[in-house]
Structure 1
Amino acid sequence: MAPVRRPHGDPVPVYEDGSDNFTLEVIHGGDFVGSGCNRAYVHGTKVCFDDCDCDSWSALWLEDLIEDLGYETAGRIDVYWLLPGMQIDALSMVSKVKEGRSTIVQEAGIRYFDDLYGVRATVNVYEPKVKKDSKDLSQTGIQINNGPKDQIDSIVVCYSVAPGHGGDRFSRFHVVWNDGVRNMSCVDLNCPGFIQVSHNVGLGGRVQPVSVYNGPQYVINIFVFKDPKTNNWWLAYGEDKAVIGYWPSSLFTRLKDKGDFSFWGGNVYGPTASLDSPQMGSGHFPSEGYGKAAFMKNIQIVDGNNKLVTPNKNKDLIGTSDIRKYSVYGYKVDNHGMHIYYGGPGILV
């Protein structure tokens, strides 16, 4: 039986003991204010959907419910869930399923919404465990997007462990671009697109050294920025911001001018990333802190004045797709940018 939207003013249903039915409460149309444990969602409208069935319930029902509320799911709609009685800092993003690819995407990190002309971060490098024969991958990096959900242009710079792609379980450095309008994408130099001008960093090459749990810690510095004269997007690497190459603006439809969204943190992708989730970051929950949990620091953006600045903390959203497997901790903002610990053990919890 499909969930039933409760008319305004109708009584709350009473389910029999042992019933598999439940009520879903949706609060929409509001705004997030504050950050961390002080975050709140205000000015929202509450709508209830009764007679949801545990046996048939799926996150895919949410698309129908969102449309029932008058939203277009083809747009960029993010849906978050919270267990009854939990505080909003335990907010989790509903895992997204990419239709036709059977690819589960889970994440933990910072989502940011603003006009963006560049993004940077210092990334703590680990080698998260992904099963040898798995087609899943675990990656950490920075991402800048523009466009609605089904037509997103994006640039991703990351390290990842992907046995099904690289044939091993080492952390490797990658650059990825995508034009969602023309449905074109490419990783590293596997097709024309990214133009490498320096070979000091090997695309697809192994990242060494990597951090050791409760031992030495190592980082990489990543900076993606738009050249205001040519409109090309450049990649700089290392503390000295040495340029590695660029993405010509002609590759993109919606990123030609600017980005409107960025993500800093970890992702896991793959057909079994939900049921057999690999590790993210160090493979330990971020509450363990420095030397044991993966971190990202010095998170900054390039604004409309072409200045590298600290992001506006009122425009970010910190969270995880599954708080049982991955989480975010230690979020703070200072003159050097945003800083977080993130990651987790995945299914090994």
Structure 2
Amino acid sequence: TAFLVTRAYSYIGASARINLWSPFVEAHDEYTTAQIWLLNGPRFAFESVESGWTVNPAIYGDKSSRFFVYWSADGSQKTGCFDLMCHGFVQTNHEIALGGKLNPISWERGGQYHLPISIHLDTNTSAWWLASGKTFVGYWPGDLFYALHDSASLVQFGGEVFSPLLEKLNAHHTATAMGSGNFAIGRFGHAAFINHVRITDYSKVERYPEWVYAYMDEPYCYSALNHVEYIKEPQFYFGGPGRNRLCP
């Protein structure tokens, strides 16, 4: 994983624009995402609502970038799923297809495209509502959750790669890429980015987080860089190629 994280007691919303790419996925049982997570609860059984884009051949049958939603009430141990593959997310607008193929895709040194994502809590019903741009897509009902019932304590913006290889001792690293497949240091036009990062708490004021941290658990495989100096709007860059000379 490589993400921008902010932690507090009472987040009730988050939004951002996620740069759209179509990174390489090596094996059928692997996937890569670029997304927003809102989380609460214990570390190894956290509750989450998530959305963004993914390349996930096992679920969607191809290697296209697709819009997704995801949730879990126990750190993905026994509950949760993508899209509508289990009871959970309630779709209210069918103009935006869950699992729908996303176009156009950004290209290096060329056009840069993005997916706007917004997730906010209805404090009257405890439902978490998902919107893309100004279009409400649906919601996660409050009764799915305990810790997330009133707020999130953690918000993350960034990317994740899943591979069974990462859980095997002495296995070589997957070559599944994150973001554009380039490291964050490449910046605009090369590396994937997330911008217009905003959070909302019970003050109901949407703002850039007061405290953020760029986290990466495999910096030689996938990196993270939050660019805040000398620019009006911070840009968070993330991604990488996976297996390489420094990430064997």
Is the TM value for this pair above 0.5? yes
* Residues 336 and 196 of structure 1: CA distance in aligned 2, closer, same or farther (over 3 Å): farther
Is 1:149 the equivalent of 2:43?
Answer: yes
User: Which of 181, 185, 201 is residue 287 of structure 1 equivalent to?
Assistant: 185
Is 1:259 the equivalent of 2:155?
Answer: no
Structure 1 contact 331–338 (Cα < 8 Å) conserved: yes
User: Which of 5, 20, 27 is residue 125 of structure 1 equivalent to?
Assistant: 20
Structure 2 contact 34–158 (Cα < 8 Å) conserved: yes
Is 1:304 the equivalent of 2:198?
Answer: no
Is 1:247 the equivalent of 2:140?
Answer: yes
Match of 1:270 in 2: 163
Structure 2 contact 2–239 (Cα < 8 Å) conserved: yes
Structure 2 contact 184–192 (Cα < 8 Å) conserved: yes
Cα distance, 1:289 vs structure 2: 1.8
Structure 1 contact 268–277 (Cα < 8 Å) conserved: no
Match of 1:342 in 2: 238
User: Which of 205, 208, 228 is residue 332 of structure 1 equivalent to?
Assistant: 228
- In structure 2, what is the Cα distance between the partners aligned to 1:166 and 1:183? 21
- In structure 2, what is the Cα distance between the partners aligned to 1:124 and 1:150? 29
Question: Does 1 or 2 have the higher relative contact order (CA < 8 Å, sep 6+)?
Answer: 2
Task: Report the secondary structure of 2:162's partner residue.
Answer: strand
CA offset digits 1:33-83 (Å, max 9, x no partner): xxxxxxxxxxxxxxxxxxxxxxxxxxxxxxxxxxxxxxxxxxxxxxxxxxx
Cα distance, 1:332 vs structure 2: 1.7
Task: Report the secondary structure of 1:165's partner residue.
Answer: helix
Structure 2 contact 52–115 (Cα < 8 Å) conserved: no
Structure 2 contact 2–217 (Cα < 8 Å) conserved: yes
Runs (5+) with no aligned partner, structure 1: 1-106
Structure 1 contact 138–280 (Cα < 8 Å) conserved: yes
Match of 2:57 in 1: 163
Structure 2 contact 214–225 (Cα < 8 Å) conserved: no
Match of 1:234 in 2: 129
Cα distance, 1:286 vs structure 2: 1.7
User: Which of 7, 28, 32 is residue 134 of structure 1 equivalent to?
Assistant: 28
- In structure 2, what is the Cα distance between the partners aligned to 1:169 and 1:186? 19
- In structure 2, what is the Cα distance between the partners aligned to 1:318 and 1:261? 13
Normalising by structure 2, report the TM-score. Answer: 0.89
Q: Which residues in structure 2 correspond to 1:208-219 (within 5 Å)?
A: 208-219=103-114
- In structure 2, what is the Cα distance between the partners aligned to 1:166 and 1:237? 20
Q: Which letter does structure 1 place at the counterpart of 2:48?
A: S
Runs (5+) with no aligned partner, structure 2: 167-171
- In structure 2, what is the Cα distance between the partners aligned to 1:293 and 1:232? 34
Cα distance, 1:259 vs structure 2: 0.4
Match of 1:223 in 2: 118
Compute the RMSD of aligned alpha carbons: 2.0
Q: Which letter does structure 2 place at the counterpart of 1:237?
A: S
Cα distance, 1:161 vs structure 2: 0.8
Task: Report the secondary structure of 1:206's partner residue.
Answer: coil
Q: Which letter does structure 1 place at the counterpart of 2:131?
A: A
Structure 2 contact 222–241 (Cα < 8 Å) conserved: yes
Is 1:317 the equivalent of 2:213?
Answer: yes
Q: How many residues matched? A: 238
Structure 2 contact 35–50 (Cα < 8 Å) conserved: yes
Cα distance, 1:151 vs structure 2: 2.4
Decide which moves more: 299-308 or 117-126.
299-308
CA offset digits 1:126-179 (Å, max 9, x no partner): 001012x43111111000010012321100102111123322111111101111
- In structure 1, what is the Cα distance between the partners aligned to 2:138 and 2:229? 30
- In structure 2, what is the Cα distance between the partners aligned to 1:261 and 1:191? 25
